[in-house]
Amino acid sequence: MQAERLTPAIGALVSGINLCEPLTPAQCSELSALLVENHVLFFENQPLTPRQHRDLAANFGPLHVHPVYPHDPEVEEIIVLDTNVKNPPDSDTWHTDVPFIECPPMGSLLSARVIPPNGGDTLWSSCIAAYDALDAEYKVLIENLTAEHDLAAAFTDSRYGESAEAREQLATARKNNPPMIHPVVRTHPVSGKRGIYVNQSFTTRIIELAPDKSAEVLQFLTSHVARREFVVQWKWKPYDLAFWDNRLTQHFANADYLPHRRVMHRATILGDKPFR
């Protein structure tokens, strides 16, 4: 296996491994270490079936079943993100996956199935690099804060509640996933590095601050995370795979390809409870 770093802050292209075959324990350990070091790994030409995709992800932990997004008909752990004119893209805000549960995902594996002729790139940001770049004074200001993450902020009735059945599914998803509170700055459980853990899509407020100040700090931190020096951008080809460390990265999928169609499959690996 070889890894070529793509930007100073984040990202590596990994070659010399066939992810369609079962991984050895040594390969799993090597990939876990590369993930922690590079935050997002890219692999080319990995034509995984949904079952192979699920089995690959399951090497790294139990898998999450998403309460709203549709899944593969036979493999419920594989989300199918099929975006087109009738189902426009909605991943074009900076976010981390599923922060609204007590133990949010440690990682996600995204497989490109149908790629538009142009556009549709995804960007990832290192929340560790973004935190490191903050002024010492600002780090003190946010050190002990906590924030609320809400599924309902991103999965709205207007976007996801078109039919009575969809509204009922949303209501169940909200009931089962009430807003969750996590530290604004979390420590990576493996590297011990610290990073920003609030995002544009799901974070609704900072608990300890008055509404105006909460909105101001969230606005600052979420736009700071998106600065280009913390970001890697990937231009997809069919059967590329991205594996990101969801604990201290955020991602944003460009919604610039309609009227073309884009289909991605995602497996989401559960993680541990964020701590300061």
Per-residue DSSP letter, 62: P
Query: Residue 110 or 185: which CB sits closer to ligand SIN?
Result: 110
In the bound state with ligand SIN, the residue whose beta carbon lies nearer, of 131 and 236, is 236
CB 100 within 8 A of CB 265: no
Task: Verify whether residue 95 is a known catalytic residue.
Answer: yes
Is position 264 an interface residue for ligand SIN (rule: CB under 6 A)? yes
Q: Which of 96, 122, 200, 250 binds ligand SIN (CB under 6 A)?
A: 122
The binder of ligand SIN chosen from 154, 253, 267, 269 (CB under 6 A): 253
The rounded distance, in Å, linking the Cα atoms of 271 and 65 is 13
Closest CB 270 distance from ligand SIN, rounded Å: 15
CB of 69 to ligand SIN, least distance (A): 9
Which of 55, 77, 97, 148 lies at the binding interface for ligand SIN (CB under 6 A)?
A: 97
Our CB check for ligand SIN shows the closer of 205 and 266 to be: 266
Is residue 180 a contact partner of residue 153, using CB atoms and an 8 Å limit?
no
**Is 266 one of the binding residues for ligand SIN (CB under 6 A)?**
yes
Cα-Cα-Cα-Cα dihedral sign, residues 272, 222, 83, 172: positive
Q: Which residue is nearest to ligand SIN (CB)?
A: 253
Q: Are 101 and 68 in contact (CB under 8 A)?
A: no
Q: How far apart are CA 153 and CA 252, in angstroms?
A: 16
Between 110 and 218, whose beta carbon lies closer to ligand SIN? 110
Alpha helices in 155-240 (DSSP H): 157-160, 164-176, 211-225
